């Protein structure tokens, strides 16, 4: 019984010593690691449009003793290329035990060739990053903390134009009216204001009309807007042999033009055949 007691006492003593050693080691390394540090960092890329994008960087910093966050020196990086740099004076005191928040707001146009808006069906991405140094004044000396944060963004895509519907109505053997309804598709998650849709209409290789529409219209995010074009085909618009055209069962059409926004131009060409029913 006495020997068993002594054996248990030794085991308990050894465990206590190991626990004490572990406790001392943890406390020591914890004290050594107590330096000013950025404890949280978040980057948002907002207002991505054809002209530019904006970034918002927010972070939190802590210090074991009193300090002053003097300045933020930063670089805005797009696909590995520095597109903007600067520094923001802050002069924010850091109190031990409290969190100090810092912000950075910046904007830039897409400048790298691969970051330009692609045609309607192509998806492009860019890696936007903010990196820099926070300069602290601590204990009468300056100290720098490096940071970097990146985010991949989907680049804007040019709106596209397609023929949504086509109607042809024969009024007589000398007059025909064609109605084209164009669909302008906005694939972006932001609205696209238009300066206009300019077009030239050709029937059977002859130009019969031109014009512009949609000036001042705005296409909502991820939606399609419809625009209507009326094309009268008669002796005045087509020529004196219009009756020969109207007697045919089918003839080609072409619509060429440019979709214009405030910071982009997207040319288009649409072609097909107009089929007429039998004359009554």
Q: Is the pLDDT of residue 196 over 70?
A: yes
Res 121: pLDDT: 46
**Amino acid 114: pLDDT:** 46
Pairing of strands 53-62, 250-261: unpaired
Q: What percentage of the chain has pLDDT greater than the value 90?
A: 65
The confidence score (pLDDT) of residue 21 equals: 36
List, in order of start, the domains of the chain with CATH numbers.
Answer: 36-154 (2.60.40.10), 160-275 (2.60.40.1820)
Nearest to 242 by CA among 212, 163, 251: 251
* Mean pLDDT across 57-74: 96
Give pTM, 2 decimals: 0.65
Question: pLDDT tens-digit profile of 213-249?
Answer: 999 999 999 999 999 999 999 999 999 999 999 888 8
CA-to-CA dists, residue 13 to 17, 22, 27, angstroms: 6, 14, 21
pLDDT in the model for residue 171: 87
**CA distance linking residue 150 with residue 4, whole number of Å:** 63
Q: How far does Cα 268 stand from its chain's mean position?
A: 23
Instruction: Decide: helix, strand or coil at residue 246.
Output: helix
Radius of gyration of the chain (CA): 35
Which of the pair, 174 or 50, is modelled with greater confidence? Answer: 174
Does position 12 have pLDDT exceeding 60, yes or no? no
* Average pLDDT over the chain, rounded to an integer: 84
């Amino acid at each position: 019984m006495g020997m068993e007691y002594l054996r248990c006492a030794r085991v308990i003593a050894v465990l206590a010593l190991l626990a004490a050693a572990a406790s001392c080691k943890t406390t020591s390394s914890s004290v050594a690691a107590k330096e000013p540090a950025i404890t949280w960092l978040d980057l948002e890329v907002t207002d991505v449009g054809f002209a530019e994008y904006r970034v918002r960087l927010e972070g939190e910093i802590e210090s074991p003793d009193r300090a002053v966050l003097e300045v933020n020196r930063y670089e805005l990086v797009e696909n590995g290329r520095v597109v903007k740099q600067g520094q923001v004076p802050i002069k924010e005191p850091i109190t031990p035990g409290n969190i100090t928040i810092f912000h950075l707001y910046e904007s830039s146009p897409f400048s790298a060739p691969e970051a330009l808006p692609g045609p309607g069906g192509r998806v492009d991405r860019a890696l936007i990053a903010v990196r820099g140094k926070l300069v602290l004044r601590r204990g009468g000396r300056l100290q720098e903390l490096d940071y970097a944060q990146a985010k991949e963004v989907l680049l804007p895509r040019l709106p596209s134009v397609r023929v949504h519907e086509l109607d042809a109505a024969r009024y007589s053997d000398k007059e025909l009216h064609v109605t084209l309804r164009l669909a302008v598709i906005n694939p972006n998650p932001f609205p696209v204001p238009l300066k206009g849709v300019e077009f030239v209409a050709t029937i059977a290789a002859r130009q019969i009309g031109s014009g512009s529409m949609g000036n001042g219209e705005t296409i909502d995010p991820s939606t399609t807007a419809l625009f209507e074009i009326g094309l009268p085909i008669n002796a005045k618009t087509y020529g004196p042999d219009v009756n020969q055209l109207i007697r045919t069962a089918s003839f080609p059409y072409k619509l060429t033009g440019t979709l214009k926004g405030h910071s982009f131009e997207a040319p288009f060409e649409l072609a097909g055949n107009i089929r007429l029913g039998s004359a009554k």
